[in-house]
């Protein structure tokens, strides 16, 4: 083989290696400038932090022996009407053959409220009399462990001249949800805890990618519960966001609505706990892929 042929072969090999490196590290293909549709974490190790300014609304009811339970509005009765900061961190482990990609997410929040009640209310075995000032607190901790499987979707045409691709990521896993409520009038204190595994959780993440720098995302997950982990009811999580990608870094903004409408027949310290509530609001996020 001539030196010229060897040189041409070397250039082709280096070009192929460069293309493979670009796809593996940065999550895009160089063919026609299209971004390959992937899950939120790409193919390798990825991390993300989300700053979620959220409100909490709905009702909570806790029944205990000898005291009639009242349905307490988290906003109207307990005064939890302020936006609170929700911290949300996520980690994607590298994609594994057959097993897919493990996504671990943890978010936590503390919603507080103060109100003067105009009638007697019962909560978790305690009666709070009309005219009392109630200080309330609801603690949230939510862990998610989801396996993700991504498929390339059809080409979607273009936006402002940039080629567009789509992708669908199937999700399957479990969540551990903690939603503990504490109420006090300075003399009486009452608390109700819901600490439960929710399984299975089934979801999907759909993305539309324009060029190598912009993506639109919609993610839905949840499950109708039928007495699993002592919970009956519905759990639902909806997220929509737009992200800008620069090399292996991304930043984005969107909206999230987390719904929990369940009855726990065996919570700790009470006979029954009913939660019909949601956490919702805008968020900002930033992430990095390795």
Report the 10 Å Cβ neighbour count for 253: 14
The structure's pTM equals: 0.79
Q: Give the Å distances, CA to CA, from 226 to 167, 230, 237, 264.
A: 31, 8, 18, 11
Q: What are phi and psi of 48, to 5 degrees?
A: -150, 140
Q: pLDDT tens per residue, the chain (290 residues)?
A: 444 443 434 333 333 333 333 333 333 333 333 334 344 555 678 999 999 999 999 999 988 777 788 899 999 899 998 899 999 999 999 888 777 889 999 999 999 999 999 999 999 888 999 999 999 999 999 999 999 987 755 554 444 455 567 788 899 999 999 999 999 998 889 988 888 888 889 999 998 888 778 999 999 999 887 666 677 888 999 999 999 999 889 999 999 999 999 988 665 555 678 999 999 999 999 999 88
Alpha carbon distance 114, 253 (integer Å): 31
């Amino acid at each position: 083989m001539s030196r010229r042929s060897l040189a041409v072969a070397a250039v082709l090999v280096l070009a192929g290696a460069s293309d493979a490196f670009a796809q593996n590290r940065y999550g895009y293909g160089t063919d026609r400038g299209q971004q390959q549709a992937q899950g939120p974490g790409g193919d390798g190790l990825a991390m993300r932090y989300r700053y979620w300014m959220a409100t909490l609304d709905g009702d909570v009811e806790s029944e205990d022996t000898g005291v009639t339970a009242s349905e307490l509005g988290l906003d109207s009765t307990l005064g939890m009407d302020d936006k609170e900061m929700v911290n949300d961190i996520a980690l994607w482990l590298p994609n594994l053959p057959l097993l897919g990609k493990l996504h671990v997410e943890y978010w936590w929040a503390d919603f507080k409220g103060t109100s003067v009640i105009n009638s007697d209310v019962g909560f978790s075995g305690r009666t709070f009399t009309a005219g009392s000032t109630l200080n309330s607190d609801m603690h949230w901790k939510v862990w998610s462990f989801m396996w993700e499987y991504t498929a390339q979707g059809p080409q979607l045409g273009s936006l402002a001249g940039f080629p567009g691709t789509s992708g669908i990521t199937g999700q399957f896993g479990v969540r551990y949800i903690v939603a503990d409520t504490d109420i006090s009038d300075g003399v009486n204190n009452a608390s109700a805890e819901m600490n439960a595994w929710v399984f299975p959780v089934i979801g999907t993440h759909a993305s539309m990618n324009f060029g190598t720098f912009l993506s639109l995302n919609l993610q839905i997950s949840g499950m109708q519960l039928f007495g699993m982990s002592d919970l009956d009811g519905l759990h639902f999580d909806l997220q929509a966001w737009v992200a800008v990608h620069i090399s292996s870094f991304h930043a984005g903004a969107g909206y999230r609505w987390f719904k929990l409408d369940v009855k726990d027949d065996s919570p700790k310290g009470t006979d029954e706990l009913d939660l019909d509530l949601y956490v919702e609001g805008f968020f900002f996020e930033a992430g990095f892929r390795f």
